[in-house]
Structure 1
């Protein structure tokens, strides 16, 4: 279609031409010969008009040809009329209105701007509806030129083409029939092959199908050259048919590549065999009618009848295709709705008691929303509305606009197919998940789980982006939104740059987080010979949590900054808020700071036996704020680090059992010492306790004098945490040896006092003998 902006020179030429014609007619009327008036003398060389040069004549002829071209085109003629109306309504350059400087108008308010905008939309809509109604009312004249003459022309033309058509179709169908088993074998191999192998098989099938089309077209061309016309020449009708055959069958190759009606393994779309064959037949009918009709029938009628008859035939073909599509939509509305619902909620495999699939499928438990169900069940209304718009365009718009709408529809369909293919591949990737080697899972046990949690979310976001891009592309193709123009504006450039920056920031943050957590997992899951200590486990866990928090905060700040939000006030507010929280939670801040320093000093680890804040027990849990102990009685204690002023760790490096043995004053210390050494040697010979002893028995000698015993002290060096078990076993052996060697272990003695008289006498104590007891 001719661009409206290019009509301005032609508009000026037309206005100048009309002015010259009107002025010439007026001058001729004023200076024309009256009755009885003498004839004017012939013009002399001085008054003769200037001779027109060849270049000026060629320019005028070119302008005239362009003007005729515009007048023949309905849309260009309407645009030219609009330009002339605006030119007639505009003031003349030399008028007072044109000379006067425009008065400065105050800026319009928001309400007035909105009113002017809606008024412009309403006026344009009414104008378009009026033009559409007039075009629709005059559409019946479009088919007035069709009659029996066109039928005779077509019969005569196809009589000449019958041989070429029969040969090309026969060769094409024969080759297709021979290659159908090959396609099926390729599809069977693709079903059990990898993605790369399947892609090669798919490309090979498309190439083979295209070679069949080229072979049939080439043989048909040779027959046309040898049989029709002079040798080496080809008729125009045969050329039209062969070109139409090549174009139509190439489009059918693309349709078969997408639907693959005979090879399920090569089918990229999730369709059943019956649905693929039905769609392939319908698409072949539409492509054949449109292709052969527009590329063969219409040119033949144009050349042998009239241009108007050819245009009428083109519109009739398009109306036939629209009617067929309406019938197809109404017939297939329920199967397509069921297919859409299955795609929204696909059936799940039934598992047996062992968790293995039984081969049966059960309905999905996931219920889609009501809006999604409504859209899936009402798809045919959208399709019918689209076909109604196409029907209106066919009847009211010129052929160029009709073909532009058809090409736009084809572009949208291709975009939908490509988006569906990509979306199906993403859906398969999500369902398949990420599987890592067992060796890597042993080192990084959480990596596969994290990837299977992050990658599906990322792929879902990609599918949403594809859907949005598809919608914008469709709106741009139909002319509703100039997406390309908007992206070229400052706002569009800023939007795309911001989107790319935010996406890059998020991807880099996720990659850094995965690398950091994987490194921590690697350090925590090394070989058993180099297993991490409890301190490393605690510090690495704290490091992972701290880095995660810092990374989230920094990523959020960078994203807000890229979006255009000034993070300065946000940082200031965060600082004030942090100060307020610090004053209000001093105890918690003290807990955190003390806990961090205790961890860096390696004072406490998980599994240690410690005494904290007067409580002894085994450390079960460490956080950045508190330590959790379980004492000997099984009581669980949570102790904040702020209340810890001293840490007593009984399981660091090594330990001692201090043996304090009390013997009677009458016993020989050398004999008791030897007994204690003998007890240690016996303990060391015990295979159960020997691995826990890491040194010889250390003798300290007589440590102190008690009320009824003397204290002998020795010490046994053990592994950390083993001192209590070693001490109990040693005490048991010492008791047995002391009993065997008659070494007294004193116990408290009690003296009975019967009182005393003033003269110093006391009562007599009678002790009965054994015989007296019996009596």
Structure 2
């Protein structure tokens, strides 16, 4: 031990560069080891879920229980965030050690540096802190994950990466949006739980509504009974009835509860089959000049076979004025 200390002291002017080099090498090795552990853990969890469900491709998990999909997506997201956090922490610690090695007298000045950094965080860097904290909470609370289809307000699309400061969203046109986590005030996740395919079908005003609704429901039930579509549909299709009436047409609403990734596919197939069924029944769809069908639905228009029950509000009688 004394010989090693003597050898180290004998390096003379080379002592500081070698110490700095050792710090950098150790930091790189620690990062590689932690990165290996994170990647191995992520692969182990993802592979375990795939093996349990008997699939090889992650996309095949869309047909498996929804919890398995969320486990894979959340694991990959947490893996990416942890990798970013590990890299940031190691770089900061290594930089401080290098500065301490090169200028030992700078240790006493770290209190002033810390005060300056605190002031900077309070003013100029507060947005960065907000981005980091918001990103961590979004991942921990499972608000979104890699592969989810989300509506963040500034951008809507598929989540490609979730960093500690920025989330990357690829929209339907292929544009990659870099959204700061601190600017995300709401998250509309279209990939959690289930989705609902809503089809508003306009038929002539003079049509027999009972016959039309029976035809629509029979077509939808027949489609969802097939093996190809049965695995994508969660519940039996429902006809919610007349949505609107005009002098030209009556709009009937059909809804199908599906898996999140299958909503558009199911809706397109249903539209094609409904068109063929109406043609075979001799029902000609009217030209819509004054009817505008909207895409997004408000919470007030959602109802079905089991609408929510609410208690009646008490009616307070106005007291009579005494004469």
Matches within 5 A, 1:32-431: none
**Residue-by-residue CA offset, 1:322-343 (whole Å, 9 max, x unaligned):** xxxxxxxxxxxxxxxxxxxxxx
Question: Which residue of the partner structure matches residue 540 of structure 1?
Answer: 79
2:102 counterpart of 1:583 = no
Question: Which residue of the partner structure matches residue 549 of structure 1?
Answer: 88
Q: Specify which structure has the bigger relative contact order, considering alpha-carbon pairs within 8 angstroms and separated by 6 or more residues.
A: 2
Q: Secondary structure at the match of 1:520?
A: helix
Gap change, CA 1:675 and 1:537, over 3 Å in 2: same
Question: Which residue of the partner structure matches residue 147 of structure 1?
Answer: none
Question: Which residue of the partner structure matches residue 42 of structure 2?
Answer: 524
Q: Secondary structure at the match of 2:261?
A: coil
Question: Which residue of the partner structure matches residue 696 of structure 1?
Answer: 236
Aligned partners of 2:259 and 2:144: how far apart in 1? 17
Aligned partners of 2:154 and 2:97: how far apart in 1? 47
Q: Secondary structure at the match of 2:169?
A: strand
CA shift, 1:648, in A, is: 1.5
**Residue-by-residue CA offset, 1:177-204 (whole Å, 9 max, x unaligned):** xxxxxxxxxxxxxxxxxxxxxxxxxxxx
CA shift, 1:512, in A, is: 4.4
2:194 to 646, 654, 663: 654
CA shift, 1:581, in A, is: 5.9
CA contact (8 A) 2:135 2:164 kept: yes
Structure 1 or 2: more strand by fraction: 2
CA contact (8 A) 1:557 1:567 kept: no
2:148 counterpart of 1:608 = yes
Aligned partners of 1:550 and 1:571: how far apart in 2? 19
2:168 counterpart of 1:625 = no
CA contact (8 A) 1:695 1:718 kept: yes
**Residue-by-residue CA offset, 1:126-183 (whole Å, 9 max, x unaligned):** xxxxxxxxxxxxxxxxxxxxxxxxxxxxxxxxxxxxxxxxxxxxxxxxxxxxxxxxxx
Which structure: larger Rg? 1
CA shift, 1:717, in A, is: 1.4
Q: Secondary structure at the match of 1:722?
A: helix
2:237 counterpart of 1:684 = no
CA shift, 1:517, in A, is: 1.6
2:134 to 583, 588, 594: 594
CA contact (8 A) 2:121 2:129 kept: no
Aligned partners of 2:168 and 2:21: how far apart in 1? 42
Unaligned 5+ runs, structure 2: 51-70, 291-323
2:276 to 736, 758, 763: 736
TM-score, normalised to structure 2, is: 0.67
Gap change, CA 1:591 and 1:602, over 3 Å in 2: same
TM-score, normalised to structure 1, is: 0.30
Question: Which residue of the partner structure matches residue 294 of structure 2?
Answer: none
Structure 1 or 2: more helix by fraction: 1
CA contact (8 A) 1:667 1:744 kept: no
Aligned partners of 2:154 and 2:239: how far apart in 1? 31
Q: Secondary structure at the match of 1:596?
A: helix
Aligned partners of 1:678 and 1:500: how far apart in 2? 79
CA contact (8 A) 2:85 2:164 kept: no
CA contact (8 A) 2:80 2:163 kept: no
Gap change, CA 1:706 and 1:597, over 3 Å in 2: farther
Q: Secondary structure at the match of 2:205?
A: coil
Aligned partners of 2:160 and 2:281: how far apart in 1? 45
Gap change, CA 1:568 and 1:658, over 3 Å in 2: farther
**Residue-by-residue CA offset, 1:601-635 (whole Å, 9 max, x unaligned):** 22222222222225322223332222232322333
Gap change, CA 1:583 and 1:746, over 3 Å in 2: same
Gap change, CA 1:659 and 1:515, over 3 Å in 2: same
Indicate the RMSD between aligned Cα atoms, in angstroms. 3.8
1:708 to 234, 248, 259: 248
Aligned partners of 1:507 and 1:542: how far apart in 2? 23
Question: Which residue of the partner structure matches residue 717 of structure 1?
Answer: 257
Question: Which residue of the partner structure matches residue 89 of structure 1?
Answer: none
Question: Which residue of the partner structure matches residue 455 of structure 1?
Answer: none
Matched residue count:
263
Gap change, CA 1:499 and 1:716, over 3 Å in 2: same
**Residue-by-residue CA offset, 1:623-679 (whole Å, 9 max, x unaligned):** 222223232233333332333222212111221101222222322222112111221
Aligned partners of 1:745 and 1:582: how far apart in 2? 63
Q: Secondary structure at the match of 2:161?
A: strand
